[in-house]
Structure 1
Amino acid sequence: MKKIIFVLFILCSCVAGLSAQTLVMPKDLKISKIADHLSKKGYKIIEKDETYLKLVDNQNSSMFIDISDDRKSLLLNINILLNKGTSKASIDKLVEKINDLAMIKATYNQEKDAIFFQYSFWISNGFTYETLEDAVVEFFLYQGDSYALDEDKIIYFQE
């Protein structure tokens, strides 16, 4: 009986070890590993180098993940184009509504005539790929919520 319990204990320990999340420290961060993890989760990696990657979800929404210069955070971000001739008042109104959402920060990028969405995913004390994946999902959800706030229909959608 003791052998059976011992074997079950070892088996459970092995299973728990295989499913455990691994803490990634900033010094060990590699965009290629993030890209590998997210591609296994169904995201399509469009571009990548040592400091950033661009990915697309299953609804063809895109985003960038950049490593901050100080390596304390990953910056999830995207520029959303606006319709030509949109008034500054309409832009400011939409940016204010978006900034009332909890997760993302929106600013107007006049050079690109776009609203810049950004979220800082802090990694200074380590992170897991699973928590990063959760942040990516949430970023896409808040991006969608932002589109719903666009009552004046100033966000440009390609058909």
Structure 2
Amino acid sequence: MTTHPAETVHDALREEPCEDAWWMPGPDGFAACALSSSARTVAEARRFTRATLEGWRLCSSVAEDAALVVSELVSNALRYGAGGGGKEPAAVCPAWLALTRQDGTVLCAVSDAGTTAPVVKVPDHLAESGRGLHIVDQLSDAWGWTPPDRSGKTVWATVSSVRV
């Protein structure tokens, strides 16, 4: 875990400080956040995304779509990819969230230690889960993942104010 000696943007953006996440603000179009395996992680990732995009002055519809996309990507990373086959680094930081922007488009990327590619499930309307990547597909302009290797993978999605 990385800590800062002084108050961080992480503490300023949140109502209550949390020691199990690391936040790097990005006024210049890049921001990153280490994700813990806490039950609060998905909500923290949504808050981080909204606050970052608000700071970048992107429209609220992009921020809300990106927050939902991040929510699904982080949920999947923690559920399927964070274990990393029992490697020690996964216990310290199961996943990373990075946001970068170019004009009105945001790239949301979640990296985890998992070595298997994401699987889009056939939707079961009665199931309690299994629709996350369908949501990502509907809200993003494009999405995909890096080829998994021993160090893991990154699942990414782009969200923009102009749909292509």
One fold, TM greater than 0.5? no
Structure number with greater Rg is 1
Q: TM range, normalised to the smaller chain? A: 0.3 to 0.5
TM value normalised by structure 2: 0.34
Structure 1 length-normalised TM: 0.34
